[in-house]
Amino acid sequence: MTQKPHNYRTFILGITIVATLGGLLFGYDTGVIGGSQLYFTEYFNFTKGEQGWAVSSALYGCLAGALIAGFLSAKYSRKYTLILSGLLFAISAWGSGIPESLTILVLFRILGGIGVGIASMTAPMYIAEVAPPKERGRLVSYYQLAIVIGFFVVFLATYFIGGGDISALSPEMLEEVHHHNVTQGWRIMFWSELIPALAFFILLFFVPHSPRWLMLKGRNSEAKRVFAKVTASPEEAEREFREIEASLIRESKELKVTAFSKSMLLVLFIGVSLSILQQVTGINAILYYGAEIFSNALGYGPEDALKQQILLGAVNLLFTFVAIYQVDKWGRKPLLIVGTLGMFLGIGTLGFSIYLNQLGIISLIGMLTFIASFALSMGPVTWVLLSEIFPNKVRSSAMSIAVAAQWLFNAIVANTFPVINGSEVNENVFNGALPYFIFASLCIVAILFVWRFVPETKGKTLEEMDQLWLKKE
Report the C-alpha gap between 180 and 78 in whole angstroms.
42
Report the C-alpha gap between 201 and 92 in whole angstroms.
13
Tell me what pLDDT residue 251 has. Answer: 62
Q: CA–CA distance from 212 to each of 128, 203, 261, 460 (Å)?
A: 10, 21, 21, 16
Cβ contacts of residue 444 below 8 Å, gap of 6+?
344
Tell me what pLDDT residue 1 has. Answer: 39
What domains appear along the chain, each with residue ranges and CATH number?
5-207+254-470 (1.20.1250.20)
Give the orientation angle of helix 378-388 with respect to helix 332-355, to 10 degrees. 140
Number of helices (H) and strands (E), helices first, in the chain? Answer: 22, 0
Q: Are 40 and 186 in contact (CB under 8 A)?
A: yes
- Any alpha helices (H) in 377-433, and if so which ranges? 378-388, 395-421, 424-428
Tell me what pLDDT residue 17 has. Answer: 93
* DSSP state, residue 333: H
Tell me what pLDDT residue 182 has. Answer: 87
- For the chain, the straight-line distance linking the first and the last C-alpha, in angstroms and rounded, comes to 43
* DSSP state, residue 423: S
Residue 464: count of CB within 10 angstroms of its CB: 14
Residue 312: count of CB within 10 angstroms of its CB: 27
Integer-rounded Cα radius of gyration of the chain: 22
pTM of the model: 0.75
Q: CA–CA distance from 174 to each of 163, 177, 185 (Å)?
A: 9, 5, 14
Query: Using alpha carbons only, what angle is made at residue 21 by residues 20 and 23, rounded to the nearest 5 degrees?
Result: 65
Report the C-alpha gap between 34 and 191 in whole angstroms.
15
Buried-exposed string 418-431: b where 16+ CB fall within 10 A, e elsewhere: beebebeebeeebe
One-letter amino acid of 446: A
* Residues 227-252: tens digit of each pLDDT: 888 888 888 888 888 888 887 776 66
Q: Are 108 and 54 in contact (CB under 8 A)?
A: no
Q: CA–CA distance from 162 to each of 25, 58, 182, 304, 384 (Å)?
A: 20, 22, 9, 10, 35
* Residues 182-234: tens digit of each pLDDT: 899 899 999 999 999 999 999 999 999 999 899 989 899 999 999 888 888 88
- pLDDT cut 90: percent of the chain above it: 32
Tell me what pLDDT residue 2 has. Answer: 46
Each residue's pLDDT expressed in tens, for the chain with a length of 473 residues: 344 444 778 888 999 999 999 999 988 987 788 778 878 988 998 887 788 788 878 888 988 998 899 899 989 999 999 999 999 999 999 999 999 999 999 999 999 999 999 998 899 889 988 888 778 778 888 887 888 888 888 878 888 887 777 667 778 888 888 888 889 989 999 999 999 999 999 999 999 999 989 998 989 999 999 988 888 888 888 888 888 888 777 666 654 666 666 767 888 899 999 999 999 998 878 876 666 666 655 555 555 556 666 777 788 888 888 888 777 778 788 889 999 999 999 999 999 988 988 877 788 889 889 999 998 899 888 888 888 888 777 778 888 899 889 888 988 887 788 888 888 999 899 988 899 999 999 999 999 999 998 887 776 666 666 666 655 54
* DSSP state, residue 293: I
Report the C-alpha gap between 290 and 35 in whole angstroms.
9
Report the C-alpha gap between 215 and 77 in whole angstroms.
11
